[in-house]
């Protein structure tokens, strides 16, 4: 029997009450055609119902590639477990994704795990292990003594436990079977062998397929094209057909939102060092410029989603990567590309001009093994005790992504973000920073809404070093609190820094340095 079928035929195999796992990273590697077909089937037939969805990473961007938003429907989705959630506003409608609406209105049992756990948990399912053990996340929001990763009141089950082994505490994630797996590749043959020649990421596709087959489940693959059997080099076939039950062809499959195909993301070519576009001289650019001063050649540096991913862009503008200069830097992200240029916005996750690529679970082996010496990460809130929040703030519930694993295991941390948020407007005049409109929301708070990482508790315990770079001030994070070390030209220390903090720095450096004036110049 041929494994090739239509999307409607493939999703008709999914039954009410099953667990459905799906791989994808924002728009990259997302099987959007299949998720759309599943959502349409429910709209037309009210079946299947009460599904549990497992997304190791937020799948889709809710814009050009809707991903999980296709199935974020009350009645279809009973429970969702994901490494993070997309919460961006649609520029056309002004609305947040449907997934966010289900979470805010408590219409789904929502759980958010660190991506390191979502990736490694699949391995435990695949080998019929009782569960996944890790120290990463102790003392964070995922710790059941806090909230156990629960993101809605409807989420009542304890999916994470604290276990003691040989006098040491661990977080324990019990396994459960996965009935259906939905993945994406570039090409398949009639046996279902999958290759990823046009995909710049591998993510959790193989691990997910192994977990589903170990559970006795069904693996459905979306591809752009069918090729003859035995027509591809074996090293390009990353998932054997014995793990694949159905193949659906989607010839319109995009590489990611706005990109049909761009071979710069596939490696095999050098970067000329010239910027494609230049960032405007705004708060984000000032922050990225200041943080770039902390990035060193030859040091493995991992960048997180958000403001920190702007750093390589300003380094490009500065000319650091001309004459093959990019090869002096060891850049990566949590999704597996090594070398090349880390991208911002919806292009984040895959690098342009990469030199190597590993899959998601292996990348978190690399991260958890302490191989990323320096990490540049965004922050949403920082409190007196040194806790950092990036996972829940305001009306947004994005979750942590790979933040916890990265922050836990790096030796040097660079946190980036604006000093306040919610309407902040700045301008630069004659090399000085002016606040045109202050943000409504303070980010230096007495207590963070959710502990994504307890940095203060780990500075001495793990021997970490950390600093915070904003558009108007720079802080070192010491075991006893924040030390203000730099201030922007044109900024008043009292009214535009100290008065806007809900707690005060433990020290102000003597002398208090002025941030480099070149940061504020075109």
Catalytically annotated residues: 334
262 φ, ψ to 5°? -150, 105
HEC string of 293-358? CCCCCCCEEEECCCHHHHHHHHHHHHCCCCCCHHHHCEEECCCCEECCEECCHHHCCCEECCCEEC
Q: Could you write out the DSSP letters of every residue in 59-107?
A: B--SSSS-GGGGT--BTTEEEEEES----PPPTTT-PPPHHHHHHHTT-
Could you give the CA distance from residue 158 to residue 365 in angstroms, rounded to a whole number?
26
Which residue in 141, 184, 36, 8 sits closest to 98, CA to CA? 36
Cis peptide before 511 (omega within 30 of 0): yes
Kindly state the tokens that stand for 241: 């057909």
* Burial annotation 290-299 (CB, 10 A radius, 16+ → b, else e): bbbebbeeee
Cα 368 from chain centroid (whole Å): 16
Burial class (CB in 10 A: 0-12, 13-18, 19+), 191: middle
Cα 520 from chain centroid (whole Å): 30
Which residue in 46, 91, 92, 96 sits closest to 69, CA to CA? 96
Which residue in 91, 53, 97, 23 sits closest to 397, CA to CA? 97
Kindly state the tokens that stand for 165: 């082994």
Which residue in 21, 238, 226, 283 sits closest to 126, CA to CA? 21
| Dihedral over Cα of 230, 231, 236, 240: its sign | negative
Task: Tell me the sheet residues that pair with 184.
Answer: 222
Contact 208, 221 (CB under 8 A): no
State which H helix or E strand residue 289 sits in: helix 283-292
Could you give the CA distance from residue 314 to residue 151 in angstroms, rounded to a whole number?
36
State which H helix or E strand residue 429 sits in: strand 425-429
Give the chain's length.
522
Contact 246, 185 (CB under 8 A): no
Could you give the CA distance from residue 189 to residue 204 in angstroms, rounded to a whole number?
21
């Amino acid at each position: 029997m041929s494994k090739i079928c239509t999307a409607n035929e493939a999703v008709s195999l999914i039954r009410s009450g099953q667990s459905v796992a799906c791989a994808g990273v924002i728009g990259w590697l997302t099987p959007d055609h299949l998720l759309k077909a599943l959502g349409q089937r429910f709209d037309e037939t009210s079946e299947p119902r009460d599904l549990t969805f497992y997304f190791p990473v937020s799948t889709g961007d809710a814009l050009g590639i809707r991903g999980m938003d296709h199935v974020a429907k009350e009645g279809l989705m009973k429970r969702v477990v994901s490494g993070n959630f997309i919460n961006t506003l649609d520029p056309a409608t002004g609305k947040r994704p449907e997934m966010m609406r289900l979470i805010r209105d408590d219409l789904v049992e929502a759980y958010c795990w660190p991506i390191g756990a979502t990736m490694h948990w699949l391995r435990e399912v695949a080998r019929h292990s009782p569960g996944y053990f890790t120290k990463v996340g102790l003392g964070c929001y995922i710790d059941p003594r806090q909230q156990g990763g629960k993101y809605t009141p409807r989420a009542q089950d304890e999916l994470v436990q604290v276990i003691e082994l040989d006098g040491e505490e661990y977080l324990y994630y019990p396994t459960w079977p996965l009935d259906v797996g939905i993945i994406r590749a570039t090409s398949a043959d009639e046996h279902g062998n999958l290759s990823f020649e046009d995909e710049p990421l591998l993510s959790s596709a193989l691990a997910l397929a192994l977990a589903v087959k170990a559970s006795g489940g069904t693996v459905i693959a979306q591809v752009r094209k069918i090729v003859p059997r035995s027509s591809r080099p074996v090293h390009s076939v990353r998932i054997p057909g014995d793990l694949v039950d159905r193949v659906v062809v989607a010839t319109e499959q995009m590489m990611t939102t706005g990109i049909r195909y761009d071979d710069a993301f596939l490696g095999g070519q050098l970067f000329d060092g010239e910027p494609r576009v230049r960032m405007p001289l705004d708060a984000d650019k000032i922050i990225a410029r200041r943080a770039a001063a902390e990035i060193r050649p030859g040091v493995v540096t991992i960048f997180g989603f958000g403001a920190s991913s702007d750093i390589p862009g300003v380094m490009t503008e500065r000319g650091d990567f001309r004459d093959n200069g990019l090869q002096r830097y060891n850049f990566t992200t949590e999704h597996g590309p090594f070398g090349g240029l880390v991208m911002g916005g919806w292009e984040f996750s895959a690098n342009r001009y990469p030199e190597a690529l590993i899959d998601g679970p292996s990348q978190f082996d690399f991260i958890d093994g302490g191989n990323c010496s320096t990490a540049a990460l965004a922050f949403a809130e920082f409190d007196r005790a040194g806790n950092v929040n990036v996972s829940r703030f305001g009306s947004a519930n994005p979750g942590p992504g790979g933040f916890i694993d990265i922050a836990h295991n790096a030796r040097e941390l660079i946190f980036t973000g604006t000093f306040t948020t919610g309407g902040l407007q700045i301008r630069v005049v004659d090399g000085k920073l002016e606040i045109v409109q202050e943000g409504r929301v303070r980010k230096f708070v007495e207590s963070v809404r959710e502990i994504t990482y307890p940095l203060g508790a780990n500075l001495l315990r793990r021997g970490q070093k950390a600093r915070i770079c904003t558009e108007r001030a720079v802080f070192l994070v010491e075991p006893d609190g924040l030390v203000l070390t730099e201030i922007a030209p044109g900024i008043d220390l009292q009214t535009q820094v100290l008065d806007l903090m809900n707690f005060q720095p433990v020290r102000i450096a003597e002398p208090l340095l002025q941030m480099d004036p070149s940061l504020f110049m075109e």
